[in-house]
Homo-oligomer: A and B are copies of this chain.
Amino acid sequence: MVYGVIGTGALGGFYGSRLARSGQEVHFLLHRDVDYVRAHGLHVDSCDGSFHLDKVNAYSSTTDMPKCDVVLVGLKTTNNHLLAQLLPPLLRPDTVVVLIQNGIGVEEDVQKMFPGQPLVAGLAFICCSKTEPGRVNHQCYGSINFGNYSCQDKAVFHAIIDDFAHAGIQCAEVEYLEARWRKAVWNIPFNGMTVVLHTQTDLLLKHPSTRELIYTIMMEVITAARHLGVTGLDQSFADKMMDMTDNMTPYSPSMKLDYDLHRPMEINYIYLRPLQIATSAGCAMPHVDALAKMLEFMSVE
């Protein structure tokens, strides 16, 4: 299958490079470093083994790219309005668009822009950044789960998973809605609270009051998810997320990095859309609401 990567940042760069290394045909849309990558290729510093791609199909515009079987979208959701212009040159009616993005409601909005297009959610669990032109730094983890949102052709959906597995990436099929909410259980408390309180995960868990607030927020998210029909989430998952984070090295989530670097924060899909969806279903998340409104105040958009 022919792969396109829209947004060759940390995630698009990492997964796209791994697919290319494993022999897949991959076409990368780049932004600032397109000339650098054409000349020098892409380098991946990785805890799983560093490698270098000498020859990279690098583009500065999707109008120059071929039609693809699969498009991996690695943009921040704050740039999703750009998809209306970026995506069409790559799409056939059966091209599968994999949204490797954060938050809830992403597929719903992209589907409105591209009715009938097969969409898949990609949920990445990875610590990865792009610090220099043509250079991805993969620190730890690396798995990705795929939730089928609207891909009727199950064979193609599974072929994508097989390609990732063949590239040595830990991956699995998951139920779309549950997977999105499952990830939100961690993302919603830790992204916002590290921003509002100018801190990291470890200090939030060390102080009894923020530890309690984080747990309360996790339970609000779990309650909302169950209200929306997600049956596989309950209090034990909050306990598990607390344990996991206790055992992580002190961490700044993506929104904290965005805030520190004066980049737009993904408040819409990590906070506002889940709040809207939960509220519409009759389930308030008041602690989440308070946090979201503080983040909006702090937003530099």
- Using a CB–CB distance below 8 Å, which chain A residues touch chain B? 193, 196-197, 199, 204, 207-210, 212-213, 216, 286-287, 289-294, 296-298
Contact = CB atoms under 8 A, between A and B. Distances in A.
A196 B209 CA distance: 14
Nearest to A220: B286
A209 B296 contact: yes
A213 B286 contact: no
Contacts of A196: 196-197, 294
Contacts of A294: 193, 196-197, 209-210, 213
A202 to B, nearest CB: 13
A219 to B, nearest CB: 11
Nearest to A286: B286
A298 B289 CA distance: 20
A197 B297 contact: yes
Contacts of A296: 207-210
Contacts of A291: 290
A209 B297 contact: yes
A216 to B, nearest CB: 8
Contacts of A193: 294
A222 to B, nearest CB: 15
A200 to B, nearest CB: 12
14 contacts: A196-B197, A196-B294, A197-B294, A197-B297, A204-B297, A207-B296, A208-B296, A209-B296, A209-B297, A212-B293, A213-B294, A286-B286, A287-B290, A290-B290
Contacts of A212: 293
Given A209-B293, A210-B293, A213-B293, 8 more contacts: A196-B197, A209-B292, A209-B297, A210-B296, A210-B297, A213-B290, A286-B287, A287-B287
Contacts of A287: 286-287, 289-290
A212 B289 CA distance: 10
